[in-house]
Amino acid sequence: MKTRIVQRPRRLRADPVLREMVAETEFSVSKLMLPLFLTDGKDVQTSIAHLDGCFTFSIDRALKYLKEVRQLGIKSVLLFGVSTKKDAQGSEALKKDSLIVRGIGEIREHFPDLIVATDVALDPYTDHGHDGLFEKGEIPNDASVEVLTEMAILHAKAGAQIVAPSDMMDGRVGAIREALESSALSNTLILAYTAKYASCLYGPFRGALQAQVIGDKKTYQMDSRNRLEALKELRLDIQEGADIIMVKPAAWYLDIISDFKHEARGTPIAAYQVSGEVAMIQAAAKRGACDLNRAILESIHCIFRAGAEIVVTYFAPALAKLL
Ligand code: PBG
């Protein structure tokens, strides 16, 4: 006698409308943040190796590009400086009229409803390529925090609504929060790169920055073998005053995103789909190994499914078109 099947999960998959109705994961363009690279000069638009469709823009060109971006419904950007003025201290980062400071001002003026976040780290401005200072082969923690805090305040004063320290120094979120409070900038958000791993996936990004790292970043970025340690970083960043906590890279670190979802207790979680993740998808699609649009959507759905509320991705414009 044939056993009768009572539960048939396929019933819910039989029709596209039903599939939409029961889909557990949904997102809109509002959830996406677009990284944007700014550089000195005028009328500059340079393509970035291994990142199709991504460019480094001078501020005037960035404003033109942002017009398109806004039309696609994208509502926030994460700014990076691409500077040729590099030295050991990263002095360019603290200039009152630095590229980023001017960029923030112009973007806020032309697009007042756009949320502008800025990356806070010294690597675009240092000749050693590290996110902090570099002395006798080491990255001094507290001295680096002082410089990074100053940089964050500069960005916030210029009008950035969000500062995003990506340096992984100990205590930097607390120091920035304290400095924001005492500078009458208590409404500025801190998006902390909380679990940022020492990853091989930052290659195209470092190429875009023309950053040559002496050695590696393993004394401050996390070891990819560690999961529980991310929870320690999470506790500290929340205690120190982070508003949003971020996991980076994203797709190889879905367990961390999922842990954060359960442990953050209401603090929103962002995930950064980094340059290497995007480059791998584009390269695979170019070689015919997968369909580009399907791969983009699947990669993003999985990051949201794991628990992210916000995804920082170079695919934001492509996704906006796909949605
Ligand atoms: C460092 C920083 C990096 C990225 C964002 N901020 C690279 C690094 O840590 O070396 C990587 C982003 C990407 O790969 O897309 N300030």
Percent of the chain clearing pLDDT 90 (strictly above): 99
Q: What is the DSSP letter of 48?
A: E
The first and second tokens of residue 179, run together, are 């400095």
CA 104 – ligand 1 centroid, Å: 19
State mean pLDDT over 130-159. Answer: 97
114: nearest Cα among 238, 6, 209, 29: 29
Which helix (DSSP H) or strand (DSSP E) does residue 322 occupy? helix 316-322
Query: What pLDDT score does 243 carry?
Result: 98
The better pLDDT of the pair 283, 84 is held by 283
**Residue-range domain boundaries for the chain:** 28-211+223-322
State mean pLDDT over 90-105. Answer: 96
**Residue listed under structure tokens 């080491």:** 138
**Residue listed under structure tokens 């973007």:** 107
State mean pLDDT over 224-230. Answer: 98
Is the model's pLDDT at 38 over the cut of 80? yes
Write the pLDDT tens digit of every residue in 244-281: 999 999 999 999 999 999 999 999 999 999 999 999 99
314 lines ligand 1 (CB under 6 A): no
Indicate the pLDDT class of residue 5, thresholds 50, 70 and 90: very high
| Helix axes 59-71 and 99-110, enclosed angle (nearest 10) | 40
Q: Of all protein residues, whose CA lies closest to atom 5 belonging to ligand 1?
A: 166
Indicate the pLDDT class of residue 66, thresholds 50, 70 and 90: very high
Q: Give the three-state DSSP class for 33.
A: strand
Is the model's pLDDT at 82 over the cut of 90? yes
Neighbours of 301 (CB within 10 A): 15
313 lines ligand 1 (CB under 6 A): no
- Lowest mean pLDDT: which of 1-10, 81-90, 94-103, 175-184? 1-10
Within 9-98, residue ranges assigned H as helices are: 16-22, 59-71
- The rounded distance, in Å, linking the Cα atoms of 59 and 209 is 16
CA 1 – ligand 1 centroid, Å: 62
Query: What pLDDT score does 256 carry?
Result: 98
- The rounded distance, in Å, linking the Cα atoms of 16 and 75 is 29
Indicate the pLDDT class of residue 313, thresholds 50, 70 and 90: very high
Is the model's pLDDT at 187 over the cut of 80? yes
Query: What pLDDT score does 263 carry?
Result: 97
Indicate the pLDDT class of residue 2, thresholds 50, 70 and 90: confident
Query: What pLDDT score does 245 carry?
Result: 98
- The rounded distance, in Å, linking the Cα atoms of 251 and 107 is 30
199 lines ligand 1 (CB under 6 A): no
| Triad 8, 14, 16: Cα angle to 5° | 140
CA 216 – ligand 1 centroid, Å: 13
Strands 269-273 and 244-248: parallel
305: nearest Cα among 74, 76, 23: 23
**Active-site residue list:** 196, 248
- The rounded distance, in Å, linking the Cα atoms of 187 and 185 is 5
Is the model's pLDDT at 1 over the cut of 80? no
Indicate the pLDDT class of residue 92, thresholds 50, 70 and 90: very high
CA 173 vs CA 186, 211, 235, 243, 289: distances in Å: 13, 24, 12, 10, 42
Nearest atom in ligand 1 to 131's CA: 16
Query: What pLDDT score does 69 carry?
Result: 97
Is the model's pLDDT at 119 over the cut of 80? yes
CA 198 – ligand 1 centroid, Å: 10
State mean pLDDT over 279-295. Answer: 98
Query: What pLDDT score does 3 carry?
Result: 82
Write down the pTM of the prediction: 0.97
Residue 79 main-chain phi, psi, to 5 deg: -90, 140
State mean pLDDT over 159-177. Answer: 98
92 lines ligand 1 (CB under 6 A): no
298: nearest Cα among 63, 39, 27: 27
CATH of 28-211+223-322, one of 1.20.1050.10, 3.20.20.70, 3.30.565.10, 3.40.50.720: 3.20.20.70
